[in-house]
Chains A and B, each alone.
Chain A
Amino acid sequence: MKIMPCPLNGPRNISEFTYGGELKQMPDPASCSDAEWADYVFNSDNRAGVVTEWWMHTASSYWFLAERHTVSDQIIRTFDPKELFNRRIEFSAPATETPA
């Protein structure tokens, strides 16, 4: 049985978790091109080696990050996303032009 060390719930069976994809940098949707956005949505590094990826403990809906080797399936480190996401992000609406 494969064990995932969850930062919130401790070591649990990996079947309790949902894989959430590679950690990627989101381009600014207001200013990026269609190609950049498509690249962000569809493409991935799909690297053979250590990758940082999102996982969720399904029962508690808790999202966290894991560093995992995609060849040996070894989980190297798991950590709370606040290690990387430590600043408040303002989602201001884009300025709308007033109709003439």
Chain B
Amino acid sequence: MPFNLLKYGLSSEYPVEVDLPPPCELEPRYDVVIIGGGGHGLATAYYLAKYHGVTNVAVLEKSYLGSGNTARNTAVIRSNYLTSEGVRFYAESVKLFQNLSNEFDFNIMYSERGQLTLAHTDATVRAFRQRAEVNKHFGGRTEMIDRQQIRELVPTLNLDPGHLPVLAGLWHMDGATARHDAVAWGYAKQAAKLGVQIHPLTEVQDLVIEHGRITAVKTNRGTVQCGCAVQAIAGYSSLLMAKAGIRAPIHSYPLQAMVTQPFKPFLDPLVSSSALHCYVQQTGRGEVVIGGGSDPYPLYNTRSTLELKEGLLAHAIEMFPFLANARLMRQWAGITDMTPDYSPIMGLSPVENYYLDAGWGTWGFKATPICGKTMAELVASGGKTPALIKPFALDRFSTFQQVNEMGATAASH
């Protein structure tokens, strides 16, 4: 044994695997420039290289990989939305997530625990019936459950919080969680292996648009020519779109979340209540993640407010009274690009070869794989929008064809 150890120690081939190649110089031109090195941008690059053989691709990230909302979401994966367009899209994403660890040969810690949403009013119960049926129709696993079943599933849950007794639950068995950083790293690693160039610390400062086409992007490391460009950023979507001369139906609000000290495992499913504007889940490390709705007014700042924390925690304690003794370990915020109908903006833009992946509000992480796959298809085909994302086009707002997901999104990630 010691000899083996010595052999490894002296061998130049050990350690064998490097996850990401060291950063290199920017080339003067790429076929595809992807702005934003989060989950969405890296996934788009990966699928472009994997399925379409497009490898002359650069992913430009202003900070480090996955440093934006990829690292700030609460890592919920689910497909129990309301509209057929939404469910079809997110259900495909859940399917891709299930196989990602194998595909990457990299553990994204995918954990299928199920998601439980609570109804406190008759109106919510009716909406749940619809969501259960729509979800089943598109191949998801969702059903309505009663108080007794909820009690068995989550014994620590208080079924009679204040004036809002729990009437029923929407039990979404496909609900899951995963390590969000690992998703970005997995895509980055595999994309780099296929020849995609990844450039952290490269901020896109301006877009060069001539005759309705994008020809180059200006970065803090110089100007890069491009055959086409994909915008895959979050928090500042509308500001970048404005640089391309595109008006956006986006308002940016901070969303605050927090994590408690670790506890012994007590909570298997992800539990959410839209009436209490609160969702609670326990991570693999035992910490309890608590999140809620966005702030009450727009802001480009990830500061934290005591007021929102107090309100959110009051509701979390209503749901799980023993949390009253918990200590908070961390709190943070992310800037969410909210659209009027709570659906993303994907696909073509008024600039011919500039593709949009924007307006991801509070529903971006769960769509990472399908978003990358469909955006890659769009880019590789030179602008033929895949059927799955047609309903999310920017022009749905001028043709009044919104995809309303508000009821299935607000504070119930």
Contact = CB atoms under 8 A, between A and B. Distances in A.
Contacts of B250: 44, 46
A65 to B, nearest CB: 14
B25 interface: no
B297 interface: yes
Contacts of B4: none
Q: Which of A19, A39, A45, A48 has the largest count of B CB atoms less than 10 A from its CB?
A: A48
B307 A35 contact: no
Interface string B222-237: 0000000000000010
A1 B239 CA distance: 29
Contacts of B297: 19
A60 B299 CA distance: 25
| Interface bracket on A | 10 to 19
Contacts of A38: 397-398, 400
A43 interface: yes
B249 interface: yes
B9 interface: no
Interface string B287-321: 00000000011111101011100000000000000
Contacts of B397: 38, 42-43
Given A44-B248, A73-B301, 8 more contacts: A19-B297, A38-B400, A42-B340, A43-B397, A44-B251, A45-B242, A71-B301, A72-B301
B301 A1 contact: no
B74 interface: no
B307 A15 contact: yes
Contact of A70 (B300, B303, B305, B307): B300
Given A43-B247, A46-B251, A70 B398 contact: no
B398 A19 contact: no
Interface in A23-59: 34-35, 38-39, 42-46, 48
30 contacts: A2-B305, A2-B307, A19-B296, A19-B298, A34-B398, A35-B398, A38-B398, A39-B398, A42-B249, A43-B248, A43-B397, A44-B249, A44-B251, A45-B242, A46-B238, A46-B239, A46-B248, A46-B251, A46-B252, A46-B298, A48-B239, A48-B300, A70-B298, A70-B299, A70-B300, A70-B301, A71-B299, A71-B300, A71-B301, A73-B299
B28 to A, nearest CB: 31
Contacts of A72: 301
| Interface bracket on B | 20 to 34
Contacts of A15: 296, 307
A30 to B, nearest CB: 18
A36 to B, nearest CB: 9
| A-B interface, 9 closest residue pairs, ranked by CB to CB distance from nearest | A19-B297, A42-B249, A43-B247, A46-B238, A38-B398, A42-B397, A48-B300, A71-B300, A35-B398
A4 to B, nearest CB: 10
Nearest to A21: B251
Nearest to A20: B297
Contacts of A70: 298-301
A18 B397 CA distance: 25
A39 B394 CA distance: 12
B324 to A, nearest CB: 22
A34 B303 CA distance: 39
A67 B294 CA distance: 21
Q: Which of B242, B247, B251, B298 has the largest count of A CB atoms less than 10 A from its CB?
A: B298
A78 to B, nearest CB: 14
Nearest to A15: B307
A35 B303 CA distance: 36
